[in-house]
Amino acid sequence: MPRPITDEDREQVRHLHAQGKARNEIARELRRSPSTVSKIARELGITFDRAVEVETATKVRRADLAARRADLAIALHDVAEREIGRMTQPQLYFEWGGKDHTYAEKWQDEPTPADRRTMMATAGAALDRSLKLSPARDETGERSRSVIGRLMDGLARNYAERHGTETVGDGQ
């Protein structure tokens, strides 16, 4: 037979709920079933609905991830710039080997064509990934389209005023 709900149970549920504890946590602490805790909460007019908290936490998490993606995009741009810069810099080449295990090194004015291709591929991959993480926005194109649209509307209004006709449309 189930244990009856007491005033003490109600008071403990109210107190623990006020502390921000979840339903299952309260149930464990009181050694009652979660459904009993839900029933008590319903009687007391309190809820364990955390939708607002979850929504806020989700927004914060998304903002954090967006910031991390932006940081990673910047780091990838840095890699691309470094690789492109290396393409025209002196390059140290070395070899180690032979039967006597000798070491030899040589500086060249710039990397070999094969090494430059590798650097270009690395830079291209880094830029491609960076732009996927944080796509470029063409704000200047949008601005110029709106400026041209306003200019055309102004010309149309001016024409209509001078010639007594109606304007076709307003591009704003």
Percent of the chain residues topping a pLDDT of 70: 91
What pTM was estimated for this model as a whole?
0.51
pLDDT at 145 over 70: no
pLDDT score of 91: 96
Alpha helices in the chain (DSSP H): 7-18, 23-30, 34-44, 51-86, 113-133, 139-163
pLDDT at 169 over 90: no
112: amino acid identity, one letter: T
Report yes or no: 135 and 123 within 8 Å, Cβ to Cβ.
Answer: no
Name the more confident of 170 and 109.
109
Burial of 40 (0-12, 13-18, 19+ CB in 10 A): buried
142: amino acid identity, one letter: E
pLDDT score of 108: 96
List the one residue out of 138, 137, 122, 133 whose CA is nearest residue 71.
133
Rounded to the nearest 10°, the torsion over CA 68, 69, 75, 80 is 180
Q: What are phi and psi of 157, to 5 degrees?
A: -65, -40
**Containing H/E element for 134?**
none
Q: What's the rounded Cα separation, in Å, for the pair 154 and 170?
A: 9
List the structure tokens of 147.
């400026």
Q: What are phi and psi of 91, to 5 degrees?
A: -130, 135
Name the more confident of 12 and 166.
12
pLDDT band at 149, cuts 50/70/90? Answer: confident
> What confidence tens digit (pLDDT) does each residue in 13-43 have?
999 999 989 999 999 999 999 999 999 999 9
pLDDT at 121 over 70: yes
pLDDT at 86 over 50: yes
What does the mean pLDDT of the chain come to?
87
